[in-house]
Amino acid sequence: MSENTETTGSGDKVKLKISAERINQFSCTKCASTIDTGTQEIFSSTVCPSCGASQLVPGQMGDFLIYEVLGRGAISVVFRALDTRDGQTVALKVSHRIGRKPVEFYDDYLGEAKATSFLNHPNIVHIFGYGFANRYPYIAMEIVEGGNLKDLITKNLWLSEKRVMKIALDITQGLHVALLAGIVHGDMKPANILNHRDEVYKIADFGNWNMKGNLENPRIWGTPYYIAPEKVEHKIEDSRSDIYSLGATLWHALSGYPPHEGKSVSEVIQAHVREEVPDLQHANITISVGAGAVVKKMMASDPRDRFQNYPELISAIEQVLAEEQLRSTLPGSTPAEEI
């Protein structure tokens, strides 16, 4: 066994808290030529002798050959990996908290996979399997190559109304399917909305999920910039809490900044409870009255004033998109740029 290292852009080594087995050779990810690794460390940089492509030395973790680090968080690392059983490339989310948490932690960690692995919908990241590899709990998921909404906002500052409403429609449809299975996401935010090929958007990371029967005792908060007021006040949450968080996410995407900001996390959280939703059209004068009204209703402080179900919200979003399409056909109109 060997402790993995991740090569950063500067060439420095950053220790990862996950161990994998060293392998002697592997196939180049570009040209499929065999590369001998010799005594090279896992995740150290190497160059293919045939095509010259630079890549990381993979390691073996259970049935998976892990090639590179796609992302990392407080408790997990996500690898691009090859499932050697069927040759499928997956995103392998692995907890590096082995031996540091009670059994309940592993139940919660794998709860996301257990609850959502049977969901098959184009707007939900598909889960292929879950279990333990080298004693570490893992979740094997489909790889979504187009980045996430957070990255898009950072790159473009803000996105066009047409694009954001299309994203909203995709995500609302995915949330509706999850709710029909009894699942509330619990942490809707830009980073959990992934851009698949052909501009199909998918919901990721049901790690804060709650089953409908457990909503009176929600175990995990959401993200401060997008958290629903009832979660802040430890009140009963339901699908309308996800609608609020999605609304705050859309507000951010349409304006370029979150609806509520502050000097501290506490200030941001309390703003969701105490302050009115800022005027979206004031933040971005290009936003239509219809889109502004939909986002404002999604973010109503009282859940009873929001859209009460997903079909109702889907209908409202489709109406905004239809109105935008009609405006684009009027004489003298300029088609909206797809930013």
Are 190 and 252 in contact by the 8 Å Cβ rule? The answer is yes
265: domain CATH number?
1.10.510.10
Which of 248, 272, 252 has the alpha carbon at shortest distance from 262?
272
User: Domain boundary at 113, 141, 169, which?
Assistant: 141
CATH number of the domain bearing residue 47: 3.30.200.20
pTM of the model: 0.83
Structurally, how many domains does the chain consist of? 2
Q: How far apart are CA 211 and CA 109, in angstroms?
A: 14
**Is 199 in a helix, a strand, or coil?**
helix
Instruction: Please check whether residues 133 and 167 belong to one and the same domain.
Output: no
Is residue 177 domain-shared with residue 324, that is, in the same domain? yes
Domain annotation covers residue 338: no
Mean pLDDT of 70-82: 83
Does 314 map to a domain?
yes
pLDDT, tens only, 196-254: 877 899 999 886 655 444 444 444 456 899 999 999 888 888 999 999 999 999 999 99
**Which neighbouring-strand residues pair with 140?**
92, 129
279 belongs to the catalytic site = no
Most confident of the following: 2-6, 111-115, 152-156, 208-212:
152-156
**80-133 pLDDT tens trace:** 999 999 989 999 998 876 555 555 666 667 777 887 888 999 999 999 998 888
Backbone angles phi, psi at 224, to 5 degrees: -50, -45
The per-residue pLDDT for range 264-284, each reduced to its tens digit, is 888 999 889 898 999 999 999
Asked whether residue 123 falls in the same domain as residue 153, the answer is no
Asked whether the beta carbons of 188 and 150 are under 8 A apart, the reply is no
Angle at 64 between CA 138 and CA 36, to 5 degrees: 145
Q: Which of 170, 187, 205, 242 is catalytic?
A: 187
Q: What is the pLDDT of residues 161-183, one digit of tens each?
A: 999 999 999 999 999 999 999 89
Rounded Cα–Cα distance for residues 201 and 185 (Å): 16
Question: Residues 122, 36: one domain?
Answer: yes
Q: Clarify whether residues 325 and 178 are in a common domain.
A: yes
Query: Cβ distance 97 to 108 under 8 Å?
Result: no
Question: Average pLDDT, stretch 139-149?
Answer: 91
**Based on the domain organization, do 54 and 132 belong to the same domain?**
yes
State the DSSP string of 169-186.
HHHHHHHHHHHHTTEE-S
Please choose, from the candidates 199, 172, 187, the residue with its C-alpha nearest in 3D space to the C-alpha of residue 225: 187
- Whether 239 is covered by a domain: the verdict is yes
**133: domain range?**
2-141
* Same domain? 298 vs 153: yes
